[in-house]
């Protein structure tokens, strides 16, 4: 074989370039993908995110070193140096067991309490419970609620829970007292937990005391009814007294008016007396006419003797009429 010519050399270089170029492109893409994967892995290894509904605590070699209470992205060292524990900071509901306690007046009362709680300080919450276990937290809450509820129930009579008069019931006061006592215990223990609300969900009486309680409620209801009846009678007496006073005033006014009218009549009669004294027959006639008018005011059938005044005015009336 002879030596390659210039044209042959150019052709070989051109063929080699076309072979190397795709290989270089493939290597660059591999490098880019690899770099992206390394970056993502680094972000996952050194960064973490806390959502709006979460709080978190960062531990260094198992000890809590940094609480996080705001949402966002944060830096951390990779495990096993640092580890992140996240907790739901939204309100969580919880109910204790239906337990029996003794009231201040010696009655056994069953109660069930519900409450809403949330984590406010993850740095305090995490070390108190194994790995920040919510189950362990609720177990602790149940113990505290049962103890404090028993203490508050023991300070109140049964009538504060069950009463015929709703105004004498103290549900709100009792619920606030239990909540304050439970929250105080949580703060003393540095549990990083806050009680948002607490209420009595259910009341019950043991079967052995149910009849006794019903008898007491019946007695209280009767006392309330008697009190209402007494108030009603007192009000009725006030109304009757007011009516009697008003009637007495009206009667006095009427008697006064009658006296005034009689006086006027007597005065008018006194003025007419001289005239009647001069003509006694006219006076008698007018009196008989007035008496007759009073007798005939209503539609009546009269049977009378014409010789009896004032009906003697009719004497001769029928005779004169016939003679005519």
Sequence ranges of the domains in the chain? 27-86, 91-205, 223-274, 279-318
pLDDT at 166: 79
Residue 312, number of CB atoms within 10 A of its CB:
14
Mean pLDDT, all residues of the chain: 78
Closest CA to 109 of 100, 98, 97: 100
Higher pLDDT, 109 or 46: 109
pLDDT of residue 218: 72
Tell me the longest C-alpha to C-alpha distance in the chain.
198
* DSSP one-letter code for 211: H
Res 20: pLDDT? 56
Residue 175 has pLDDT above 80, yes or no: yes
**Residue 204 pLDDT level (bands cut at 50, 70, 90):** confident
Return the pLDDT at 309.
62
Task: Find out if CATH 3.30.479.30 is the number for domain 91-205.
Answer: yes
pTM above 0.75, yes or no: no
Residue 170 has pLDDT above 70, yes or no: yes
What are the pLDDT digits (tens) for 2-47?
A: 445 545 544 444 555 455 556 555 677 776 777 677 767 666 677 7
Q: How far from the centroid of its chain's Cα atoms is residue 90's Cα?
A: 25
Kindly state the tokens that stand for 245: 């006073």
């Amino acid at each position: 074989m002879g030596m390659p010519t210039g044209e042959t050399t150019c052709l070989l270089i051109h063929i080699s370039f076309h072979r190397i170029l795709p290989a270089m492109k493939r290597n660059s893409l591999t490098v880019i993908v690899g770099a992206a994967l390394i970056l993502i892995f680094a972000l996952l290894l050194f960064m973490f995110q806390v959502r709006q509904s979460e709080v978190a605590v960062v531990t260094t070699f198992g000890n809590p070193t940094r609480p996080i209470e705001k949402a966002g992205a944060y830096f951390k060292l990779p495990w096993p140096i640092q580890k992140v524990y996240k907790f739901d900071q939204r309100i969580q509901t919880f109910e204790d067991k239906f337990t029996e306690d003794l009231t201040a007046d010696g009655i056994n009362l069953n109660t069930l309490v519900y409450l809403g709680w949330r984590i406010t300080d993850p740095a305090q919450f995490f070390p108190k419970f194994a790995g920040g276990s919510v189950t362990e937290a609720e177990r602790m809450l149940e113990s505290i609620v049962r103890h404090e509820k028993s203490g508050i129930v023991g300070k109140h009579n049964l009538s504060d829970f069950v009463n015929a008069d709703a105004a004498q019931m103290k549900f709100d006061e009792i619920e606030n007292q239990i909540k304050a006592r439970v929250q105080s215990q949580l703060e003393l223990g540095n549990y990083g937990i806050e009680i948002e609300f607490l209420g009595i969900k259910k009341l019950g009486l043991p079967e052995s005391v149910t009849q006794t309680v019903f008898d007491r409620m019946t007695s209280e209801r009767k006392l309330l009814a008697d009190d209402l009846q007494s108030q009603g009678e007192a009000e009725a007496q006030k109304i009757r007294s007011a009516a009697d006073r008003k009637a007495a005033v009206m009667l006095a006014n009427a008697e006064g008016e009658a006296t005034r009218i009689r006086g006027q009549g007597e005065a008018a009669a006194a003025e007419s007396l001289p005239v009647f004294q001069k003509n006694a027959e006219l006076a008698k006639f007018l009196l008989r006419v007035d008496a007759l008018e009073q007798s005939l005011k209503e539609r009546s059938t009269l049977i009378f003797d014409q010789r009896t005044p004032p009906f003697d005015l009719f004497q001769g009336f029928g005779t004169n009429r016939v003679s005519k």
